[in-house]
A = this chain, B = another copy of it.
């Protein structure tokens, strides 16, 4: 049976043995580390929802590949319905976890590979697509979570990969063997790498012929020898570790850098190797899918932020202020814009040669451009509505201190009838929703840079057709 429970998922991670460092120390028990566990719980919510009566119908569908019920997070879209369901599930889950659930990027990789490996095979007679389908069956049958190893560390950004003084600034093949390849490099911002069973690696950019060693795609378990996960710092990273002042009591996010220190990949897991001209298409497909994904989950996160803002208005006694209600509308409007453009991109999707459906890239990028600019504004509005205590609320430990706790509690009172503890909890959640850096930065940089989204919509737009419209009206012979 292909649907894991949340508990089965966590136990499956417990059996893995990745090499992990955090704050300079080796972490051996990933699953029980409170910081990592909060992230794992967010991914676990995708397993939990698949087993809840309320969400099962939207989270689970039958895979045409294995003929079994699977979690949609393992299913490259084979219909418009699949494309739309992605966005709706993402919105539901984004609202439910209030942060990143870290399972869409793996699917975005698989969706891109399910299109591009087929096309490479068509050109070169390779067997990447078949290999990929085998891998996909494995993922579906075992209800695995995959991580997207896309973003290279990049070194000097004015240079192409092969021009870098240190050739490892983009992940590359350093050895080709009869049984597989050896790769070296590092992938940054690997959200959820330790919540994943597999890491799927794609190139991070279009490549030139000279960059042949960098044109590589593959998938390996996250505890493969040579892989090192270095969990970086984010603004609120000590809260779970200290066990206090945790705003989101259930979920969080962490983002390792994953170093590939001469890692062996067997041929059956290699999905591209040297076909440089397909690198750009592969990353473009991945990015477009990922921007579509964000249009769902970030709208869901705003839903949660709106809820927090409204609750703070109830708790502060400001629920009737018209200027705050206007700000709520500003928040709603942004959520619906992200969502509207993303779901439109889905409905307007098109079947590709391999049978996978691809979204409308202009609409998906239109959504992402809004995200990149407007999520920051949503956070600002939330802080504006919630009030200044978002940035300097006394600690839970102050509240628990017998000398000053009662005094602090007294002065944290809000509207009559609201338990002080609840007001404090909600202020803490606002801090997390508005000011946690891993989430905030993904709004801006997730799915590629803002400029990439902009260039994409220009490149994909029929500029000549628009010129013709204007010339006809102006009475100009073309």
Distance between Cα atoms of A410 and B166 in the complex (Å): 9
| Interface flag for A125 (CB, 8 Å) | no
Main DSSP-derived SS at the A contact region = helix
0/1 per residue, A327-343, Cβ < 8 Å to B?
A: 01100110011011101
Point out the residues of chain B lying under 8 angstroms from A234, CB to CB. Answer: 391-392
Q: Which of A438-473 contact B (CB under 8 A)?
A: 438, 440-442, 444-445, 449-451, 454-455, 457-458, 461, 463, 465-473
Copies per complex of this chain: 4
**CB distance B336 to A380 under 8 Å?**
no
Distance between Cα atoms of A468 and B322 in the complex (Å): 22
**CB distance A98 to B366 under 8 Å?**
no
The interface centre, meaning the residue of A232, A238, A438, A466 with most chain B CB atoms within 10 A of its CB, is A466
**CB distance B474 to A247 under 8 Å?**
yes
Distance between Cα atoms of A188 and B328 in the complex (Å): 25
Contact for A340 among B24, B250, B345, B470, CB less than 8 A: B345
| Interface flag for A168 (CB, 8 Å) | yes
Distance between Cα atoms of A341 and B388 in the complex (Å): 25
Distance between Cα atoms of A256 and B411 in the complex (Å): 13
Q: Report the minimal beta-carbon distance from A140 to chain B, rounded to whole angstroms.
A: 28
Distance between Cα atoms of A451 and B323 in the complex (Å): 7
The stretch among A175-183, A195-203, A210-218, A424-432 that forms the contact with chain B is A424-432
Interface size on A, residues (CB 8 A): 156
Q: Report the minimal beta-carbon distance from A425 to chain B, rounded to whole angstroms.
A: 4
| Interface flag for A384 (CB, 8 Å) | yes
Point out the residues of chain B lying under 8 angstroms from A442, CB to CB. Answer: 388, 391
**CB distance B389 to A429 under 8 Å?**
no
Point out the residues of chain B lying under 8 angstroms from A23, CB to CB. Answer: 395, 397-398
